[in-house]
Amino acid sequence: MRDEPRMVVAGATDVYVALNFGTLAPKRFLDIWAIDELRGISLSGDTLVIGALATYTDLIRSQHVVKRLPMLVEASQLVGGIQIQNRGTVGGNIANASPAGDSLPVLAAVDAVIVIRSAEGERRVPITEFYTGYRATVMRPNELIVAVEVGPVEGKQWFRKIGTRAAQAISKIVVAGVRASAPKIAFGSVAPTVVRVPETEKALAGGASIDEAALVLAREIAPIDDLRSSAEYRLQVSVNLLRRFWAETG
């Protein structure tokens, strides 16, 4: 028991659900909520630095995020309800590693970098390399996420979440895109982890029509059936969302 690693608790909005359902194995916890140093949102040169403990409410209210990453504000406004937005943190969303996490496609579409720290030092991992499988990450038990860094984003940002209803719903599909000469597009809930769609991005960057790109996307992703949605529905909606992204950002 003494050697058992402690589970980090930030806003506890995911941890508490698991605790309540009796599905949580850890019995020792490390509450980091009071570490204000992990809460700030600032600019460091050209880089937007979001502390791991920044809540959705903090993101919505931050002028830096409003100016630099408006699609993260949009995503945050659609997370849970006000109570969850006040407690849920971006670090918790990243570490929880759900393929349906709403901030994840936004962060993946802008090549965000996760800053991880332990007593041994700090390392930076691009979000596209952070997830190794379903609910699995490169994090070691002695590491904390301390921040997420986002460089300047060129191009029009676009975000959509499809759920059973507008609020308090887990995403069936979530997508974020940046319309630039090299478009960047990331999907949540269509694979075991958040995914970029490099073949589709390449087709669009190379001048393919949206019809051609839609065919590429349909080959590139292979969503699954689960209790929230069918694979067929997810595939069709993903293609529809790609078309809408292109139409609305053109």
The residues of the shown chain that bind ligand FAD, judged by CB under 6 A, are 7-15, 17, 52, 79-80, 84, 87-89, 91-93, 95-96, 101-102, 144-145, 168
Tokens of 160: 């959509």
Least distance in angstroms from the C-beta of 12 to ligand FAD:
5
Identity of the residue, 21 or 211, whose beta carbon is nearer to ligand FAD in the bound complex:
21
Least distance in angstroms from the C-beta of 98 to ligand FAD:
7
Per the DSSP assignment, residues forming a β-bridge with 179 are 156
Identity of the residue, 8 or 190, whose beta carbon is nearer to ligand FAD in the bound complex:
8
Identity of the residue, 195 or 203, whose beta carbon is nearer to ligand FAD in the bound complex:
195
Rounded to the nearest 10 degrees, the angle between the axes of helix 210-220 and helix 231-249 is 150
Identity of the residue, 93 or 229, whose beta carbon is nearer to ligand FAD in the bound complex:
93
Identity of the residue, 51 or 183, whose beta carbon is nearer to ligand FAD in the bound complex:
51
Least distance in angstroms from the C-beta of 121 to ligand FAD:
15
Pairing mode of beta strands 131-133, 173-179: unpaired
At residue 151's C-alpha, the angle toward residues 217 and 101, to 5°, is 50
Least distance in angstroms from the C-beta of 11 to ligand FAD:
3
- Mind giving me the DSSP string for 162-187? E-SSSSS---SEEEEEEESSS-EEEE
Least distance in angstroms from the C-beta of 104 to ligand FAD:
8
Residue 205: name the closest of 177, 237, 241, 239 by CA. Answer: 177
Q: By the 8 A CB rule, do 13 and 37 touch?
A: no
Q: Which residue is nearest to ligand FAD (CB)?
A: 92
In sequence order, the 6+-apart residues with CB closer than 8 A to the CB of 137 are: 95, 97, 130, 131
Helix, strand, coil fractions of the chain, as percent rounded to 5? 35, 25, 40
Identity of the residue, 101 or 183, whose beta carbon is nearer to ligand FAD in the bound complex:
101
Tokens of 15: 């941890």
Least distance in angstroms from the C-beta of 239 to ligand FAD:
23
Identity of the residue, 145 or 217, whose beta carbon is nearer to ligand FAD in the bound complex:
145
Least distance in angstroms from the C-beta of 180 to ligand FAD:
25
Q: By the 8 A CB rule, do 155 and 178 touch?
A: yes
245 — phi, psi (to 5°)? -55, -50
**Pairwise CA distance, residues 168 & 166, whole Å:** 7
